[in-house]
Chains A and B, each alone.
Chain A
């Protein structure tokens, strides 16, 4: 693959300095400053990862990654299948316990103070179920009230979210009967309901119809303009390039490149080209499959 931090022959002007971390012995505390010191040192960052690691048996899914996500940024997390994007987001959102490392959300450590950290984040995971036998409004009402939000605030916000996300027509239909696009939108509504500082979205636009996708993009853009931070994973480079201010490219459980979009793209024609080069994807060769279309047996 060559030097992963270069595009063509030009070195990448990375916003994040990538220094390899020494491997931790199992059970050892990570060699990083405590949460207080780290929070002070990374003020101005909505999300900070240090030495985050997760292995499933012998396979290391996420390998000592460091990442800083500035407040107010629209941050894309890209990488091929198996790169470690979902595992990383799962550890950031408190759904998967890391083997080592630290995650700070708005200066709060997710794994030492989950209550405070989770109050600051909204989550849209990929492929997880919802409370399927509730309707959309019931789901929002339940989650808002469970967070201890005043009833009137819950009612007013959920009504507005349902209207903005174009879920009015669903009425009292159960979530079990929602389409993929509707499911993504109601999950986004649930993530926004308590007005968190940080949104963590795993493939929010995967398998979503164009109309729903546009609505979701618009809502997310408005959210960042209002000062919120969005981190989202995606396979679609054009979407990341058009939407994000920053991007991190993952491959083999590591951050290969990270920074502002223009910096990561470098001299490449597009982010897609830069990505292909960074992850070392082989080009499809000419020839082969010559029998296609020649017979039907």
Chain B
């Protein structure tokens, strides 16, 4: 039976290669070769850490822990990555749970991702084998680490598969995605903290890693990374404890997976009943004139921004990036201008406005049929990006000004940021009609932002706003430079020029976008409805 599972997974893994045409096969082979070389270089780089054994162990403790966390979270934030993740697919086959579990373990070990992990783990084993006689111990530890990653990942995904089959569960997955992002920010701040360790000789990152590793060495992946060094040092008691921690972790994960599998195969998936009701927010505006239409559309968008995690989560990320991120990248004066990136991202929230609903766009094709409504619709979508965007940007600037005593730079910063925001909104609006793309509607992953066949289009549309925002902000940026080099009064000029140019760009964009939509609505619909399939 294990052979059948292995053969099934092998067929799944190689199916794309078999289905590809001659030229595509060559490109895929080149891609795999490049990836393979890259992975070997990474493994080699990790292996060279054996030259500094004092640092190798703490770095590997952190690395192996991150690897395990990555394996655990991937199914939650990117559910559907692997077709064999959902054990419900096997529910109707006459298989005992133990047979199924062993079979699924084998399938989990076959694939590109496990292979990449094995290559990286070989590099880790080399780094930890000081002297070389420890290599068998280190390799055994890496085998356990790989099994730990796979088993824990499967246990987590099986436990969550019922939850993830419901809409609310997938919404939760989005929230977890945001949690991962926040954890990453905290991790960067913590690792990059110059006061983390006094033994770090002033090297902030090294000190941070040492501090983190001290804690993580008591976890299963941390224990596996420290075990070869403990054996080498003859600390047999500590080594035995590390082995127990690692094997107990693996055993617990196996038991969790078995229990989750049994439960999953004998219960029906959760239903969507019990979703939060809408509270009947129907709005009162009527689409009479451009402004009336704008109010109707903006009212709906505002409602959905609260209700739909696909719209809400990007805003939460933008808030973090606008207010907290400048503290991470710029230390001291000047961080106020790093808010401009947040301003651009706020503006990008007006992007792909025709693609966000998937085939639901047909409702607008039936109702938004004249120039007045088309312009009102674009303005409505823009307004829902501009109003919160301005608030977030102003808060971000105020926080930086107060934290770094940079009040003198506030007028110029506001001018540049508002120009960047409005410019990004203007370009995002136009790109929505000129280069629409399908957004996956299944909500299986917050990181699944494109559908097959539209990846290039998605990337071009997603990054177009950056260029557009920068171009529109250029006059304000020139004023800012003059305020720093010539006279502070240019900062006030930036405050006037920036928003003025931004509003002008927005007005032009609204007219062009509306006309483009009216001319090519069926073609836009044909592109964006592909999002329903993913």
A55 near B: Cβ within 8 Å? no
B299's closest neighbor in chain A, by CB?
Answer: A142
Cα of A171 to Cα of B278 in the assembled complex, Å: 9
Which of B180-188, B257-265, B363-371, B385-393 interfaces with chain A?
B363-371
Which of A40-48, A58-66, A143-151, A218-226 interfaces with chain B?
A143-151
| Contact assessment for B288 and A148 in the assembled complex, using a CB-CB cutoff below 8 Å | yes
B275 near A: Cβ within 8 Å? yes
B268 near A: Cβ within 8 Å? no
Cα of A95 to Cα of B359 in the assembled complex, Å: 10
A125 near B: Cβ within 8 Å? yes
| Contact assessment for A96 and B283 in the assembled complex, using a CB-CB cutoff below 8 Å | no
How many Å from the CB of A117 to the closest CB on chain B?
8
How many Å from the CB of A42 to the closest CB on chain B?
23
Which of B76-84, B469-477, B522-530 interfaces with chain A?
B522-530
| Contact assessment for B360 and A130 in the assembled complex, using a CB-CB cutoff below 8 Å | yes
What are the residues of chain B within 8 A of A119 when measuring CB–CB?
A: 369
B297's closest neighbor in chain A, by CB?
Answer: A146
A14 near B: Cβ within 8 Å? no
A137 near B: Cβ within 8 Å? yes
| Contact assessment for B532 and A129 in the assembled complex, using a CB-CB cutoff below 8 Å | yes
B375 near A: Cβ within 8 Å? no
A184 near B: Cβ within 8 Å? no
| Contact assessment for A142 and B296 in the assembled complex, using a CB-CB cutoff below 8 Å | yes
The residue from B360, B368, B370 contacting A131, defined by CB atoms under 8 A apart = B360
Q: Which of A79-130 contact B (CB under 8 A)?
A: 93-97, 114-115, 118-119, 121, 123, 125, 127-130
Q: Which of B482-519 contact A (CB under 8 A)?
A: none
| Contact assessment for B278 and A128 in the assembled complex, using a CB-CB cutoff below 8 Å | no
**Contact of A135 with B277 at beta-carbon distance under 8 Å, contacts A97-B523, A141-B283 already known:** yes
| Contact assessment for B286 and A150 in the assembled complex, using a CB-CB cutoff below 8 Å | yes
Cα of A1 to Cα of B363 in the assembled complex, Å: 40
Q: Which of B396-448 contact A (CB under 8 A)?
A: 441
How many Å from the CB of B274 to the closest CB on chain A?
9
Q: Which of B326-372 contact A (CB under 8 A)?
A: 357-360, 362-363, 365-370
Which of A16-24, A27-35, A172-180 interfaces with chain B?
A172-180
| Contact assessment for A177 and B273 in the assembled complex, using a CB-CB cutoff below 8 Å | yes
B291 near A: Cβ within 8 Å? no
A142's closest neighbor in chain B, by CB?
Answer: B300
B167 near A: Cβ within 8 Å? yes
| Contact assessment for B287 and A146 in the assembled complex, using a CB-CB cutoff below 8 Å | yes
**Contact of A146 with B373 at beta-carbon distance under 8 Å, contacts A94-B366, A171-B277, A172-B279 already known:** yes
What are the residues of chain A within 8 A of B287 when measuring CB–CB?
A: 145-148
B459 near A: Cβ within 8 Å? no
| Contact assessment for B278 and A142 in the assembled complex, using a CB-CB cutoff below 8 Å | no
B252 near A: Cβ within 8 Å? no
A132 near B: Cβ within 8 Å? yes
How many Å from the CB of B312 to the closest CB on chain A?
11
| Contact assessment for B357 and A131 in the assembled complex, using a CB-CB cutoff below 8 Å | yes
How many Å from the CB of B520 to the closest CB on chain A?
9
Cα of A132 to Cα of B310 in the assembled complex, Å: 12
**Contact of A151 with B272 at beta-carbon distance under 8 Å, contacts A129-B359, A129-B532 already known:** no
Of A115, A130, A133, A173, most B-chain CB atoms within 10 Å: A133
Cα of A220 to Cα of B323 in the assembled complex, Å: 55
Q: How many residues of B contact A (CB 8 A)?
A: 46
| Contact assessment for B373 and A94 in the assembled complex, using a CB-CB cutoff below 8 Å | no
How many Å from the CB of B530 to the closest CB on chain A?
12
Task: Mark A137-162 against chain B: 1 for CB-CB distance below 8 A, else 0.
Answer: 11001110111111100000000000
How many Å from the CB of B442 to the closest CB on chain A?
11
A134 near B: Cβ within 8 Å? yes
| Contact assessment for A135 and B278 in the assembled complex, using a CB-CB cutoff below 8 Å | yes
The residue from A115, A132, A146, A172 contacting B277, defined by CB atoms under 8 A apart = A172
What are the residues of chain A within 8 A of B285 when measuring CB–CB?
A: 145
A274 near B: Cβ within 8 Å? no
A115's closest neighbor in chain B, by CB?
Answer: B369
B284 near A: Cβ within 8 Å? yes
**Contact of A176 with B296 at beta-carbon distance under 8 Å, contacts A95-B362, A130-B360 already known:** no
A190 near B: Cβ within 8 Å? yes
Which of B6-14, B20-28, B104-112, B301-309 interfaces with chain A?
B301-309
The residue from B273, B286, B360 contacting A151, defined by CB atoms under 8 A apart = B286
B280 near A: Cβ within 8 Å? yes
**Contact of A128 with B360 at beta-carbon distance under 8 Å, contacts A133-B307, A146-B373, A174-B275 already known:** yes
B358's closest neighbor in chain A, by CB?
Answer: A129
Cα of A114 to Cα of B521 in the assembled complex, Å: 11
Cα of A177 to Cα of B166 in the assembled complex, Å: 10
**Contact of A141 with B369 at beta-carbon distance under 8 Å, contacts A128-B360, A173-B277, A174-B275 already known:** no
B274's closest neighbor in chain A, by CB?
Answer: A177
What are the residues of chain A within 8 A of B278 when measuring CB–CB?
A: 134-135, 138, 172-174
B158 near A: Cβ within 8 Å? no
Cα of A143 to Cα of B357 in the assembled complex, Å: 15
| Contact assessment for B282 and A137 in the assembled complex, using a CB-CB cutoff below 8 Å | yes
B281 near A: Cβ within 8 Å? yes
A130's closest neighbor in chain B, by CB?
Answer: B360
| Contact assessment for A96 and B286 in the assembled complex, using a CB-CB cutoff below 8 Å | no
Q: Which of B33-86 contact A (CB under 8 A)?
A: none
What are the residues of chain B within 8 A of A96 when measuring CB–CB?
A: 522, 526
B293 near A: Cβ within 8 Å? yes
How many Å from the CB of B52 to the closest CB on chain A?
53
B288's closest neighbor in chain A, by CB?
Answer: A148
Cα of A14 to Cα of B293 in the assembled complex, Å: 47
| Contact assessment for B280 and A123 in the assembled complex, using a CB-CB cutoff below 8 Å | no
**Contact of A134 with B303 at beta-carbon distance under 8 Å, contacts A128-B359, A145-B286 already known:** yes
How many Å from the CB of B361 to the closest CB on chain A?
9
| Contact assessment for B365 and A151 in the assembled complex, using a CB-CB cutoff below 8 Å | no
How many Å from the CB of B305 to the closest CB on chain A?
10
| Contact assessment for B362 and A138 in the assembled complex, using a CB-CB cutoff below 8 Å | no
How many Å from the CB of B531 to the closest CB on chain A?
9
Cα of A38 to Cα of B297 in the assembled complex, Å: 37
| Contact assessment for A177 and B373 in the assembled complex, using a CB-CB cutoff below 8 Å | no
What are the residues of chain A within 8 A of B273 when measuring CB–CB?
A: 177
Of A119, A123, A130, A142, most B-chain CB atoms within 10 Å: A142
B271's closest neighbor in chain A, by CB?
Answer: A177
Of B293, B366, B369, B441, most A-chain CB atoms within 10 Å: B366
How many Å from the CB of B314 to the closest CB on chain A?
15
Of A141, A145, A149, most B-chain CB atoms within 10 Å: A145
Cα of A101 to Cα of B484 in the assembled complex, Å: 64
Cα of A127 to Cα of B370 in the assembled complex, Å: 26
| Contact assessment for A131 and B300 in the assembled complex, using a CB-CB cutoff below 8 Å | yes
What are the residues of chain B within 8 A of A132 when measuring CB–CB?
A: 357, 360
19 contacts between A and B (CB under 8 A): A93-B366, A94-B366, A118-B366, A118-B367, A119-B369, A128-B360, A128-B529, A128-B532, A129-B532, A131-B300, A131-B304, A137-B280, A138-B280, A143-B363, A145-B283, A145-B286, A146-B293, A148-B286, A173-B275
Other 17 A-B pairs with CB < 8 A, given A172-B277, A174-B275: A94-B366, A96-B522, A97-B522, A114-B369, A115-B370, A118-B366, A123-B366, A128-B359, A129-B358, A129-B359, A129-B441, A133-B308, A135-B277, A141-B282, A146-B287, A150-B286, A173-B278
Give the top 4 A-B pairs by smallest Cβ distance, nearest first. Answer: A135-B278, A115-B369, A141-B282, A129-B360
